[in-house]
Each structure stands twice: as structure tokens, then as C-alpha cells.
Structure 1
Amino acid sequence: MRLLATALVAALASAPALAAPAYWTDWTSTSSVASAVIGDLTVGSTTVGVTFSGAYSFAQTSGGTNYWASNPAIYTSSTVDNGPTTADIVALSAGGTKTITFSQSVHNPLIGLVSWNSNTVDFGVPINILSYGAGYWGNGTPILNSTGTGFFGNGEVHGVIELIGDYTSITFTDTSEGWHGFTVGVLGVIVPGNGTHIPEPASLALLGGALGALAMVRRKR
């Protein structure tokens, strides 16, 4: 049992991070008065309101062309298990400052990208480029800027980036082009009052499985 326990702990320590389910925004309505797009993120039993404010070209809130579906694999990675599953998207054309606001704090929010072609974007906070590849409008490579807070789209960038930290709002700048689209996702949200994240991280699920295996071996003995 001690040898098995040691082996399991070593395996957990050396194993790469497991991809976790991503929860993507259901964009539900627009407001021409406030130049806003409004939606919800549902994570387990928690619903988080999401509001985009700023200049935009169009928003798909119910149907339309599914720009995410041409190559779903480019929206997955060792961190993110799944890309957007509906056609919901917010399309930007005029460059400037935009803000995404959450009704409660979210952890390491995700931005799904469609066609960020020759675009310079900066979020002002550290980002990770999780995945990219050939999408609906072609192929491109996001080039991280010198501060690690944004990227330049070298070609038709499709993929997913992650903002590191906990946020109730995200403000970013972009540059003008025909249009480039995005949506917002999360791997978890912050539980008010105790600062914990839901749902359960994949690493804890792996640990639970390992402990379960130990218990089964002990019962068998």
C-alpha cells in the first residue's frame, strides 16, 4: 500500500495539467442605446451576467453562421476541453476601447477569437495564448507583445487566449479592420464570501480518483 501510495503521489506530481470544461457566454440581447451586448455564463448552479460595452459591428444572439464550427479543435488545448458550441458571437470593426463586465468575479477568463487579422490588441494584464490554427476565415499566428499583455494578429488569427487572474471587468483596446469576432468563457467562477473557485479543478478530480483507487486496493486486500 505504501509503495502504491508513493507511486500515485509521484504520478500526480509529474502529470501535466488536465484540460477542464469551458463554459461559454450565451449572448442573449443587444442595446443600441448603450452600444452593449448582454448575455449569461452558466457554471453549474451559478449564473454570471456578462455585458460587453463599446463599438461593435454586429452580434449573433440566436442562430446565424457558426464561425466556431469549421475547426473546433483549434479552440481546445491542454487547458480548455471544449470550444464554443453555439453560433453566438460579438463582431468588432471600429478600433478603440471596449469593456467586458461580469456580475461576479470570474477566474482566468477565456476569449475565443475569430479572424483577428493584422489586429493589435492589448488587455493591460498578463495573457496566455492557449491555442490557434486554421479557422473559418483562414490561418494566422498571434504574436505576443513585449509586455505579455496583448498580441498582434499575423494573418487570420482564430483561437483562444486566457487572462490570468480574477476579474469583475476586462478593458481592452483593439484596432480597426473589416470585422473580428470574439466570445467570452470561463473555467470557473469565484464563490462570494470564501474566494474558492467552482467547479472542482481537474487536478482535484484526479486526486480523488487516485484516493479511490487506493481505497479499492485496501478493500480488496
Structure 2
Amino acid sequence: MNLTTKTALSAIAAAVLGTLGSPGSASAAEVSWTQWTSAVAGNNGRAFGQMVADDGSSISVSYSGQLAFWDAPGSNSFWQDGGGTYTSAAVDNGPGDSGMVALSRLGTRTLTFSQSVGNVFFALIGLNAVGYEFDQDFTIESSGPGHLGSGSFSKQITADGKYRLTGSGEPHGVIRFVDPVTTIRWTSLADEQWNGFTVGTYGAAPVPESSTWALMGLGLFAMGCFRRRRCATA
């Protein structure tokens, strides 16, 4: 195999690896936020909603735990974005008028999804110093001013392996859970007037275009040629 051929095959292989490792186009960052359709307030409250994926499929979302009040889609939007509060490199769009669930008391809560969901985003209003303690690891994606004021988030991992999110001031923003989930459990660490949340995820993963499949095929061929070459010269 001459140098020119090897260089060309190397370029093809690199392009394929880049394609496979790419996180996707900007459209992949569009988040489908839960449309909360019904709820019952109280110490044993319930709320129900749907996330609609890009392919039209629906993921059911249910919440159980203390519930102070809820905001139906299109009624009052508490999700005012002061500039990057609910958007980031990972999230193109905030919750808008999709609705919200508000909490006010110490206690444990559970979110349940009808199927395993990856890239679950959890948007918050006014968490302040009360804090949430989750059973799932997360990353802080964004924070900024919102409906109740402004502030910032911090994360700690507790001695018993829980993931704690606390705030300074009245932070609003978005966290993302690291692993796919079917349930998320967390504890509100103290009473307060109220804080709110909603959840969302990406829509259906985009299907690779025909040109991408062709590039992948060329890359596999290139890697096969290299392997055969190494075997022949060994």
C-alpha cells in the first residue's frame, strides 16, 4: 500500500470516527418539556403529564409526593428566562408555558416515566438554600435570574452516596441526570414558601442520512485495509 493510499484511508477513518463521536446537530438540543395535564395538591399529591418526542411517540410522566400547587400549560408561565437561565449548549429551549409542579414541604418525592429515558433535564424555580437530595447523579447545565429572583446552584455528594443540589439566593436553572432513568427519587430538605420544577428530554434520535451511512462504510473498509496490511507485514 503506497503512502498516498494510506493517507487517504487514514483521512476516511478519521472522518468516520468523528461522525460516530459527534454529539449531533444543533437540532438535537431541542428539549421536549413535560405538558402537565392534571394534578391533585396535598401532602400526598399527584401530577401527570406527557413528553412528546420528535417522532410523535409519547412518554408518560407521573409525580407523587407533597404538592403545593400546579400550573397548567398555557395558563401562567413561571419560566421567565433572564438570559441563559434555562438554555445552554445542551438545551436550546426553556420550558415556556408547558406547566409546572410546585413544592413547599420537607419530604420525599418520586418521578416515574413510562419507559427508560436518557438525557432527562430537570428545570427549577427558586430552589434557594432549602436544597434537594437526589438518588441519581446530575450535572448543572445552567442557572440565572427568573420568576423569584436570582442566585446560583452548587452540588455535593453526601457520605451516603446521595447527590445534593442547593442554592444561594433564589436560583433558577436546569440540571441533567447522568444516566437513563425510569424513576427519580429526591428529598426536599426543609419547608419553604414554594419552589417549582418540570422535566424534559430530547426527542427521537435523528436517523443518520444516507451520506453518513456511506461514510461509515468507507471508514470500515479503510480500517479493514489497515488491519490486513498489519497482518501481512507482521
Tell me which interval the TM-score lies in, with the shorter structure as reference length.
0.7 to 0.9
Residue of structure 2 equivalent to 1:162:
176
Conserved in 2, the CA contact under 8 Å of 1:18 and 1:79? no
The answer to whether the aligner puts 1:26 opposite 2:35 as a matched pair is yes
Q: 1:96 to 1:73 in 2, by over 3 A?
A: same
1:185, distance to aligned residue in structure 2 (A): 0.5
Aligned-partner Cα distance in 1 for 2:172–2:180: 24
Conserved in 1, the CA contact under 8 Å of 2:34 and 2:98? no
1:85, distance to aligned residue in structure 2 (A): 2.5
Aligned-partner Cα distance in 2 for 1:61–1:72: 24
**Number of aligned residues:** 201
1:89, distance to aligned residue in structure 2 (A): 0.6
Aligned-partner Cα distance in 2 for 1:210–1:160: 37
Q: Tell me the amino acid that sits aligned with residue 87 of structure 2.
A: T
SS state at 2:79 partner: coil
Q: 1:208 to 1:32 in 2, by over 3 A?
A: same
Aligned-partner Cα distance in 2 for 1:76–1:100: 23
Deviates more, 1:72-81 or 1:53-62: 72-81
Q: Tell me the amino acid that sits aligned with residue 128 of structure 2.
A: N
Residue of structure 1 equivalent to 2:164:
150
TM-score by length of 1: 0.78
Conserved in 1, the CA contact under 8 Å of 2:153 and 2:166? yes
SS state at 2:84 partner: helix
Post-superposition CA distance 1:70-106 (Å, at most 9, x none): 4363211111121112150111101210001111111
Residue of structure 1 equivalent to 2:185:
171
Aligned-partner Cα distance in 2 for 1:145–1:85: 29
1:66, distance to aligned residue in structure 2 (A): 1.3
Moved over 6 A (4+): 13-17
Post-superposition CA distance 1:100-154 (Å, at most 9, x none): 1111111121100111111221112211001111122221111111347221111
Instruction: Name the Cα RMSD after superposition.
Output: 3.0
Aligned-partner Cα distance in 1 for 2:149–2:198: 18
Unaligned runs of 5+ in 1: 189-197, 215-221
Residue of structure 1 equivalent to 2:122:
111
TM-score by length of 2: 0.74
Q: 1:146 to 1:210 in 2, by over 3 A?
A: farther
Aligned-partner Cα distance in 2 for 1:209–1:121: 44
Aligned-partner Cα distance in 1 for 2:214–2:174: 31
Conserved in 2, the CA contact under 8 Å of 1:18 and 1:78? no
Aligned-partner Cα distance in 2 for 1:78–1:70: 15
Unaligned runs of 5+ in 2: 1-6, 219-234
Aligned-partner Cα distance in 1 for 2:31–2:214: 24
SS state at 1:82 partner: coil
